Chain A
């Protein structure tokens, strides 16, 4: 069972602000997901390789050949607060890393 503190911890890591009702709701939903995973854990899966990818491909690589980058003004166009050719962001010190 996921408790309130765990929900708030995960919310902080994801930079989500939840109100009390949402915390309650998330605790229930996250617990339901974990219970489902526990149920899968009851299956006899000896000898079954863990699956991290559903396509049976390996080594899909790209040659080390430069491709044109995007023009800087285009790149910065959607930035809310560009300065000196850079993206400007609030100082991370003010944030809790």
Chain B
């Protein structure tokens, strides 16, 4: 049988961090007493009129522009009809055939659409306690009901669980940098569903997909997709068919449970929301949305690679975290005469390791190591004023106490031995003290040099330049 390929698309809901709800002036909140942020509009009392929050529209436009979407000149809201206790109107105000924006991309993944809608209320299932007429009941808290949501739907361009979770992280970083949402998966301000199918590798057709819900961390997103891919492959391997359904992910056992068959799209009986007039973003609104865009991770990755010559991994790692990016750029800017690539290596390598060693939770930005201090240290190592090993010693001191690397070098006596006569004498002693290693090197065993280099480093307390020591030993032995 042909090898199967994963085909994954994501649907991401982002709660916007406006002050008030999408269609009424109730304040947004998290963790307050239930039902203290409600009014006749968000509780669907008869005769009320919704009024869209202009800030929510501004935020949604920023997301659309950041994802390089085409904003519809005129979009309308629809009613999506369904009965469920989390929605007192019996319909959700959403967008249907003319969404806010379509056809964008983030990194290599195409965006199908971006639209605005409102969140449902939070339900707490009381369970089969027996107290309520012998059956379960739900407590409904409408504080969350009506929170502005932006839904982002990708094309099915993702090819593995790992790729999906990595891309979702990039999306989160991007939205976070726009400052339009807390994008916290645990608290539900970022929610991610996955449409998963498999098909013979190389095929262009799409297989039958299932929809996975309830993955409230990137780890669970990845595990859920992995579990579902394995299940589908097993089904097809056994000659059975995948059935289109919605699956609920349970992280405790990494299991998937089928939910009741979902209503078909036409069962939602979408129709234009008569209470809301069309939304036609003006040139001014679009101009503002574009103007408010900070440099986003994808653009920054490219700049780090193209203009600063960073290797792809370091570029991605530094660009993904806005704080790390600012730190790196300050350090690179201060490290006169040193290639940014070298500074990046120190930030992602030695500094990250030293911070881990120290056990601190804070990244580079929250540490005692000022970016200018790191820059000064890198310059000293590059100019061979101190050895690389001494550099690490200084860095450990900087992590522990902060300060200036120059002062630490002086205090610890770490300055590189620059007097070649002094170093030559130490090398001569070390060669004489290791006749066996010397004989092996003469006989052509290059690796034996380590013993003598080690002896020199011990003697100099790491203040010698490794390459120079190697050269002097070889000179002395005539190899």
Contacts and interface: CB of A to CB of B under 8 A. Distances in A.
A13 B51 contact: no
B139 A87 contact: yes
Contacts of A95: 83
- Interface of chain B: mostly helix, strand, loop or mixed: loop
B238 interface: no
Contacts of A58: 74, 277-280
Contacts of A83: 137, 139
Contacts of A59: 277-280, 282
A70 B19 contact: no
B202 interface: no
Interface in A36-94: 52-53, 55, 57-67, 69-70, 72, 75-76, 83-94
Nearest to A84: B139
Given A59-B280, A66-B20, A94 B136 contact: yes
Nearest to B25: A67
B267 interface: yes
B138 A89 contact: yes
A87 B142 contact: yes
Interface residues of B, number: 55
A44 B255 CA distance: 55
Nearest to A76: B35
Contacts of B53: 61-62, 64
A57 B277 contact: yes
A55 B56 CA distance: 23
A72 B54 contact: no
Nearest to B88: A87
Residue of A15, A70, A87, A94 with highest tally of chain B CB at under 10 A: A87
B274 interface: yes
B52 interface: yes
A61 B136 contact: no
A85 B34 contact: yes
Nearest to B122: A86
B137 A66 contact: no
Interface stretch (B36-44, B182-190, B429-437): B36-44
Interface string B334-364: 0000000000000000000000000000000
Residue of A13, A64, A83, A93 with highest tally of chain B CB at under 10 A: A64
B19 A53 contact: no
Contacts of A76: 35
B463 to A, nearest CB: 62
Given A52-B76, A69-B27, A62 B138 contact: no
B81 A13 contact: yes
A72 B57 CA distance: 29
B108 interface: no
Nearest to B54: A61
A65 B39 contact: no
B272 A52 contact: yes
Contacts of A70: 38-40
Given A15-B83, A86-B124, A91-B136, A62 B54 contact: yes
Contacts of B282: 59
A65 B74 contact: no
Interface string B116-142: 000000011110000010011111111
Interface in B392-415: none
B112 to A, nearest CB: 22
Contacts of B276: 60
B137 A90 contact: yes
B155 interface: no
B85 A89 contact: yes
Contact of A60 (B51, B56, B272): B51
A6 to B, nearest CB: 12
Given A52-B272, A59-B279, A62-B53, A93 B136 contact: yes
18 contacts: A13-B81, A13-B267, A57-B277, A58-B74, A59-B279, A59-B282, A66-B25, A66-B27, A72-B36, A75-B43, A86-B34, A87-B139, A87-B140, A89-B137, A91-B126, A91-B135, A92-B84, A92-B85
Interface of A: 13-15, 52-53, 55, 57-67, 69-70, 72, 75-76, 83-97
4 closest A-B pairs by CB: A67-B25, A64-B55, A91-B136, A52-B272
Given A64-B18, A64-B20, A67-B26, 14 more contacts: A13-B83, A52-B278, A55-B277, A58-B279, A62-B53, A65-B19, A66-B20, A66-B27, A67-B24, A72-B33, A85-B33, A85-B35, A86-B140, A97-B82
